[in-house]
Structure 1
Amino acid sequence: MPALAPLISVIMPAYNAATTVCAAVESVLAQTCTDFELIAVDDGSTDHTARLLEAHARRDARIRLLRLPHGGIVPALNAGLEAAQGRFIARMDADDLCLPQRLEMQAGYLQQHSEVGLAGCRVHFGGAPGGYARYVDWINSLLAPEEIALERFRESPFAHPSVMFRAELVTAHGGYADGPFPEDYELWLRWMEAGVRMAKLPQTLLLWSDPPTRLSRTDSRYSTDCFYAMKTAYLARWLAARNPFHPRITVIGAGKTSRRRALPLLDLGMEIAAWIDVDPRKIGNIVHGIPVRGREALPKPGTGFCLAYLAGHGAADELREFLHPAGYVPGRDYLLVS
């Protein structure tokens, strides 16, 4: 254990990652910033992961290996947080690669911006084109704290292994929660609700892999329904605090999926004044006792608040092109939430 606490603690959980973990570790050891510890948490692997990490730890004293019975990523992450000694906490996964300047640039950013609690970075996507690649394009487009905060109810705005945050945030607002939801997204929403500002560096500093075993593909906690069940509670509290017309809202999107995602707000005290849609087959209907109307029925800027539940590719951009010339301001008049 180093005599002095390191500047950065890198927390890397690993489970049956023997084919990738060595490259991940080497990418951390190759950082231009050398003032770090790498806390590798073996989550009860049944392959050679622990043995490989032990060999690395013998060669480099900055590596600290924690061995746990298999319990999943949340206990592994929280064990890493508890062991961490650094001023800053960086996340890393055992199948990703850090670019050499990642730790230096993220720590430097946090040192220069005391108002920011968490700094991510752009990532290079290691998967195939399609839905997940579009998601990566979206998170890479969000840099400033204001846009991250406004867009946070659409999806998780960070690649989890790309972030670095101040260690005191864990003491102030808690670590990872275990439940039927994605642990990283819940953490971002909880911390932002508490007022933590989050930013993203414009540099690409992580190669983010996309294996078929990714938890977001295999774990039921990462299902779309779990995402919406969790984030709807945070959204309802945001609306109660910031919607001047609370509890009244207008929902843009009247399709079955949009309605399924919006209706739980009723159980949290919201009132839906109308569904807004562009499909003439829907306009004029009454659904769940709520009328479906065309865009001409949108409340004028400053006279109501809208939530847009639009799942189609490109639908959010099309809606912005319609709303912004008419004077609608995101966060004041509407939010994109899907």
Structure 2
Amino acid sequence: MNINMEPLVSVIIPSYNYGNLISETIKNVLAQSYTNIEIIVIDDGSLDNTASVVSELIESDNRINYFYQENKGLSAARNLGIKCAKGDFCLFLDADDLISPDKIKLHVEHFDQQPHIDISYSRFWYFKNNIEERFSTLNLETSEWMKVLDGDYKNVFPAFLTSNNMVVHSAVVRKSLIDKTGFFNTDMKSLEDWDYWLRCLYNGAYISFLNNEQAYVLTRVHSISMSTNRSKMHYYEYLLRSNIEDKVYLEYLNEKFYPKYMEVTKPLVKKIYKYRILRNGFFNINDLKIIANRIGVPKLIQVYFSAFNEWIKHPKALMTRS
């Protein structure tokens, strides 16, 4: 903390080949009305000019810290950022995204006013080219879809089992909760933030929405990669939902909530278990028995041959998908 006893906020920015955009993102953070921050840039093995861009910025502001690692993926980069963070709170910001000028200040005030909160999250918008043209969904729609959540893990957990309710940089998180929860799952190459929020909540987190229109984040949508990213997200959603059923999260799927959960999950059941078989193997007898108990032998046979046919078409891509 500084002499004014203001909490230090660590802004963790992983970057892989975003030398063309990371300067805008870092300058956006430096322009925050709240000044007691540290910016931790994790260069995840970039092959472009990321290092030189960040080095130039460091010369003008010592709140910026640069760390390099061989390319290990987004989760591993965030994990290194967590290890390096000295702050009381952390904000995970991707190298091409932006936050509103007063966002950090308003979150710190939110924590100060309500000390029981572990995760404070704000509104979030998507944009493509013009930051003034904002959308509420990744599909660039304007419908209001975000749930406003405020409560402890027992009340909020079911909503997150159904869907991911916030982009990663909309949240500011107490470092003490991060220390309790641990690191991001490096096996999740997409939706790793959803997986992380589930684990935070299961560790007892209290989450609260910061209802202030001056606190928001902007997520950049790259049109070239949209379809690829969507396919990747679908794949990892199947894996995540399979993991949900395997973990102690099952205690939350009680009689009251289970029908709602299944309403969302049912259309995905065959794909969930298809990818599960591709991941765990065609001859994993114990796992096949578990699947049979959940969906029945006839559906298992359908799913098994569906997985086999997909493996024939894409033998390497699906077994080692990233």
TM beyond 0.5: yes
Partners of 2:265 and 2:81 in 1: how far apart? 44
Counterpart selection for 1:185 from 176, 185, 194: 194
Counterpart of 2:307 in structure 1 is none
Q: Which residue of 2 aligns with 1:132?
A: 139
Q: Residue 124 of structure 2 corresponds to which residue in structure 1?
A: 123
- 2-side partners of 1:149 and 1:233: how far apart? 15
Match of 1:225 in 2: 235
> 1:267 is matched with which residue: 287, 290, 311?
290
Asked if residue 145 in structure 1 is aligned to residue 168 in structure 2, the reply is: no
Contact kept, 8 Å, 2:73 with 2:186, in 1: the verdict is no
Query: How many residue pairs get matched?
Result: 272
The gaps in structure 1 that reach 5 residues or longer are 274-286, 290-338
Alpha-carbon contact 2:181-2:203 (below 8 Å) kept: yes
Partner of 2:25: 24
More helix by share: 2
Q: Shift of the alpha carbon at 1:244?
A: 4.9
Bigger relative contact order, structure 1 or 2 (CA pairs below 8 A, ≥6 apart): 2
CA displacement at 1:5 relative to structure 2: 9.6
**When you count strand as a share of all residues, which structure comes out higher?**
1
The one of 190, 199, 204 equivalent to 1:195 is 204
Report the counterpart of residue 180 of structure 2 in structure 1.
172
RMSD: 3.8
Shift of 1:145: 3.4
Offset at 1:48? 1.1
Q: What amino acid does structure 2 have at the position aligned with 1:174? A: G
8 A Cα contact 1:88 1:164, kept in partner: yes
Shift of 1:227: 1.1
Q: Provide the rounded CA distance (Å) in 2 between the counterparts of 1:138 and 1:288.
A: 33
Displacement of 1:137 after TM fit?
Answer: 3.8
Structure 1 SS opposite 2:122: strand
Identity among equivalent pairs (%): 22
The match for 1:211 is 222
- Give the C-alpha shift of residue 168 in structure 1: 1.2
CA contact (8 A) 2:239 2:272 kept: no
Residue 249 of structure 2 is aligned with which of 238, 241, 246? 238
Give CA-to-partner distance per residue, 1:193-228, whole Å, 9 cap, x none.
Answer: 2221222223342121111466994497x4323213
Is contact 2:44–2:71 with CA below 8 Å preserved after alignment?
yes
Rg larger in 1 or in 2? 1
TM normalised by structure 1 equals: 0.68
Change (3 A) 1:201 1:248: closer
For 1:226 and 1:10, locate their aligned partners in 2 and report how far apart those are by CA, in whole Å.
26
User: Partner amino acid for 1:64?
Assistant: N
Task: Measure how far apart 1:154 and its partner are.
Answer: 2.7
Structure-2 separation of matches of 1:83 and 1:250:
38
Aligned residue type for 2:49: H
Letter in 2 for 1:59: S
**TM-score, normalization: structure 2?**
0.71
Distance 1:262 1:101, change over 3 A: same
In 2: Cα distance, 1:133 partner to 1:165 partner: 27
Amino acid at match of 2:25: A
Change in CA separation of 1:70 and 1:251 when aligned onto 2, cut-off 3 Å: closer
- Paired with 2:160 and 2:117, the residues of 1 have a C-alpha distance of 16
What letter corresponds to residue 209 of structure 2 in structure 1?
Answer: K
- Listed one character per residue, the Cα deviations across residues 36-73 of structure 1 (whole Å, up to 9, x for unaligned) are 10111111211111101011111101111112222211
